Chain A
Amino acid sequence: MRWLADHYFAEGPGISKDAPKRTGLALVVETMWREGIELMKLNLLFVLACLPVVTVPAAFAALMRVTLTMAEDRNVYLVEDFAGAFRRHFLRATLLGLTSGVMIALPAYAAYTYAGLSVAAPIYTLPLALSVGVVILFSIAGAYAFALLVASEFALGEIARLSLLAALARPGKPLAALGFVAVFWVIHILFYPVTLVMPAIINFAFGTLAIAFGVHETVNRLVRAKEERAGMAEQAMSGA
């Protein structure tokens, strides 16, 4: 037991106030390492919240809210924040989830169809690539949309417009995050049944944290820009 006590109670090297803050992938890894246990609890919470199925979009919105807070290096009250976001965004998240689901499912089905056809006729490779591109674009837009949903009070139409624009303008980081999510699922499938519990404790929360890291800068910028515009309009109104 001594090693455990030493592990927990031995003094660390300290954190200098002037130490440069980690950025990029190093920051993602550091946050995942530091919040590992919390993320596992969060994953479990998400899975439980998804059990009634209709709650999946709201649970995902709540998951996004908590992971965004982690990505912004702010304090998280796990259960309280998750439950609060779940209740607060339930209706809008459900609508957004259904819309996003359909928007991704349609080109995904098209891609599936063209993939089958392209085996016999290579000409179908072109629509297949287009369909896959649309799936990826809408997946990225979906990630932005859920982050915008929980980070702002924008109307759903505005969220859809901004998330599509963001997906077109800044697809890199969210795409990398989606790749990270895909890696988790590939590991889960490849090593099944050893990885039986992975979806219950790892895949969703760690994956969503990666997505949160991928989108939070752009989302914050969009929210700030909108607030500044609203502030300027208010000033203009009061001036008039």
Chain B
Amino acid sequence: MASISLQKLNKTYGALTVVHDIDLEIGDKEFIILVGPSGCGKSTTLRMIAGLEEISGGDLVIGGEVVNDVPSKDRDIAMVFQNYALYPHMTVYKNMAFGLMLRKAPRDEIDRKVMEAAKILDIEHLLNRKPKALSGGQRQRVALGRAMVRNPEVFLLDEPLSNLDAKLRGTMRAEIAKLHKRLGATFIYVTHDQVEAMTMADRIVVMKDGHIQQVDTPQNLYDRPVNMFVAGFIGAPQMNMMPVTIVRHGEGFAARYEGQDLPLPGNLDQSRIAAYLGQAAVLGVRPENFHEVAPADIPSEALALISAVVELTEPMGSEVHLGLSWAGRPITAKVSPRCKAAEGETLHLLVDMSAAHLFDPKSELSLFSDAPQPRGIAA
């Protein structure tokens, strides 16, 4: 049983606080990913869980036991580092066996565990090689194998794929996700790559400046970001944000942007919108919610027609990213590769307002979401 509880966990370096009283509950066998920009405190949080950083305040509870003062080696955790941290003078076998050798495990057991891990990771042919000969992906597998042989309750992975090229990252992402299912251990993974976070996690913890912004499933984070930071951080290209004023629009409401009223359809919480009537708000529209033609599955009353000038086209193969100027504000739209918009041309696009987001410009919180809820285990 390896549930982990961070209770008002805090880390300070002198006068500088890098992790501010964070609360987080991580369930047994859960794959949780800490994501955020550089310096947000995600790696520090992971290192506190690992026991590599002293905890300045709060409690860290693993398996029901407060482990603030328990040495790293006694926490039944294994960590995989970004730079692999393999011993260059040891063979792959010895790198993997080292932890068990230190614990004076019997040789048969070491051999069995190393061979098992090597088989799972498909590195049997590398066992008697030195890390110098291995590629980045192979080194990362060895680092994973070294963690696996200890059979820990908790795996901590600190940006393990950052040093790999894009293709290999994709392969390793899938392998780590499979590994998590196979091992049935708790995984805590740190990354600044939202694709990794979205594709692998049971839940994602978004952090900024040492604070947890939101904890939720990948899809919920994408669909219901609690604030502008999460909305902007999750999704690529990032969400477009426009300053609007909430106005009456027939029976309902609209977001007025540069004199144009964009209807806010009934699927959006009208009571919350009503509270902002006549007030400023921030409208968030994801790039994929711009359409050249009306999609069949979206009611026409939820679509708003806009005109924008094409400033940049980025063909991505399966789609085209358009850099547009909408009433002088730069926005990004994701359209089909068939779109033949030329730079400088004025393009008419339909905005799916049923998928729009509204934020309070001062607090930056979403109008449709309750206050951030960092605690709680996913059902």
Name A's B-contacting residues (CB within 8 A).
7-15, 17, 34, 37, 73-75, 77, 80
Contact string against A for B residues 113-130, beta-carbon threshold 8 Å, 1 for contact and 0 otherwise: 000000000100111111
**Are A15 and B128 in touch, CB under 8 angstroms?**
no
- Asked if B91 is an interface residue, CB under 8 A from chain A, the answer is yes
Q: Which residue of B lies closest to A77 (CB)?
A: B107
- With A75-B91, A75-B93 known to touch, is A13 a contact of B132 (CB < 8 Å)? no
Cα–Cα distance between A11 and B107 once the two chains are bound (Å):
30
Whether A17 contacts B130 by the Cβ 8 Å rule is no
Once the chains are docked, how many angstroms separate the CA of A34 from the CA of B83?
23
Instruction: For the complex, give the distance between the alpha carbons of A37 and B128 in Å.
Output: 14
Q: Is A75 within 8 A of B130, CB to CB?
A: no
Contact yes or no, B88 A11, CB < 8 A: no
B residues within 8 A CB of A10?
132
Given the complex, which residues of B lie within 8 Å of A11, measured CB to CB?
134-136, 139
Could you tell me the distance between the alpha carbons of A15 and B129 in the complex, rounded to whole angstroms? 9
CB-CB nearest 8 A-B residue pairs: A14-B135, A8-B88, A12-B133, A75-B93, A11-B136, A17-B125, A12-B132, A73-B128
List 19 additional contacts besides A12-B133, A34-B130, A77-B107; criterion CB under 8 Å. A7-B132, A8-B88, A8-B132, A11-B135, A11-B139, A12-B135, A13-B135, A14-B133, A14-B137, A14-B138, A15-B125, A15-B134, A15-B135, A37-B89, A73-B128, A75-B91, A75-B93, A75-B128, A80-B107
Q: How many angstroms between the C-alpha atoms of A89 and B2 in the bound complex? A: 47
Q: Interface digits, B75-96 against A, CB 8 Å rule (1 contact, 0 not)?
A: 0000000010000110101100
Chain B residues with CB below 8 A from A7, complex form: 132
Known: A8-B88, A37-B89, A75-B94. A15 touches B126 (CB 8 A): yes
Q: List 30 A-B contacts (CB under 8 A).
A: A7-B132, A8-B132, A10-B132, A11-B134, A11-B136, A12-B133, A12-B134, A12-B135, A14-B133, A14-B134, A14-B135, A14-B137, A14-B138, A15-B125, A15-B126, A15-B129, A15-B135, A17-B122, A34-B128, A34-B129, A34-B130, A37-B89, A74-B128, A75-B91, A75-B93, A75-B94, A75-B97, A75-B111, A75-B128, A77-B107
- Residues on A with C-beta less than 8 A from B88 are 8-9
- Which residue from chain B places its CB closest to the CB of A19 in the assembled complex? B125
Nearest chain A CB to B374's CB is how many angstroms away?
37
Q: Distance (Å) between the CB of A81 and the closest chain B CB?
A: 10
C-alpha gap A92/B332 in the complex (Å):
81
Which residues in B have their C-beta under 8 angstroms from that of A15? 125-126, 129, 133-135, 138
Q: Nearest CB to that of A72 among chain B residues?
A: B128
B94 CB contacts on chain A under 8 angstroms: 75
Chain B residue at minimum C-beta to C-beta distance from A69:
B128
Residue of A nearest to B138 (CB): A14
Q: Please, how many angstroms separate the alpha-carbon atoms of A80 and B97 in the complex?
A: 15
A133–B377 CA distance with the chains assembled, in angstroms: 80
Nearest to B87 among chain A residues (CB) is A8
- Distance from B107 Cβ to chain A, minimum over Cβ atoms (Å): 7
Which chain A residue has the least Cβ–Cβ distance from B115? A75
Contacts of A34 in B (CB 8 A): 128-130
In whole Å, how far is B178's beta carbon from the nearest beta carbon of chain A? 18
Task: Give bound CA distance, A70 to B93, whole Å.
Answer: 13
Specify which chain B residues have a CB less than 8 angstroms from the CB of A77 in the assembled complex: 107
Most A-side CB within 10 Å, residue of B125, B128, B135: B128
Partner of B127, one of A8, A17, A75: A75
Q: Which chain B residues lie closer than 8 Å to A75 at the CB level?
A: 91, 93-94, 97, 111, 127-128
Q: Tell me which residues across on chain A come within 8 A of B91, comparing CB atoms.
A: 75
A11 to B94, CA, bound (A): 19
What is the CB-to-nearest-CB distance from A68 to chain B, in angstroms, rounded to a whole number?
14
Residue of A nearest to B114 (CB): A75
Chain B proximity of A7: nearest CB distance (Å): 8
- Using CB atoms, name the residue of chain B closest to A70: B128
- Among B125, B131, B139, chain A packs the most CB atoms within 10 A around the CB of B125
In angstroms, how far is the closest chain A Cβ from the Cβ of B85? 10
B125 CB → nearest A CB, Å: 5
Shortest B94–chain A CB gap in Å is: 7
B102 → chain A, closest Cβ, in Å? 13
CA distance A12 to B133 in the complex (A): 4
Give the chain B neighbours of A14 by CB distance below 8 A.
133-135, 137-138
How far does the Cβ of B127 sit from chain A's closest Cβ, in whole Å? 7
Nearest CB in chain A to that of B135: its residue: A14
Q: How far is the CB of A30 from chain B (nearest CB, A)?
A: 10
What A residues does B137 contact at CB under 8 A? 14
B137-159 Cβ-contact flags toward A at 8 Å (1 or 0):
11100000000000000000000
- Within the assembled complex, what's the spacing in Å between the Cα atoms of A13 and B127? 16
Question: A21 CA to B367 CA in the complex, in Å?
Answer: 63
Write the nearest CB–CB distance from B275 to chain A, whole angstroms. Answer: 56
Q: Specify which chain A residues have a CB less than 8 angstroms from the CB of B133 in the assembled complex.
A: 12-15
- In the complex, the chain A residue whose C-beta lies closest to that of B96 is A75
* Residue from A8, A12, A17, A37 whose CB has the most chain B CB atoms within 10 Å: A12
A34 to B139, CA, bound (A): 17
Query: What distance in Å separates the Cβ of A61 from its nearest Cβ neighbour in chain B?
Result: 20
Chain B, residues 243-261, CB within 8 Å of chain A (1/0): the string is: 0000000000000000000
> Nearest B residue to A8 by beta-carbon distance?
B88
* A15 CA to B123 CA, complexed, in Å: 10
A144 to chain B, nearest CB (A): 25
Residues of A within 8 A of B134 (CB): 11-12, 14-15
In the bound assembly, the distance between CA atoms of A84 and B129 in angstroms comes to 24
Task: List chain A residues, Cβ under 8 A from B97.
Answer: 75
A34–B128 alpha-carbon span in the complex (Å): 9
- Contacts of A73 on B, CB cut-off 8 Å? 128
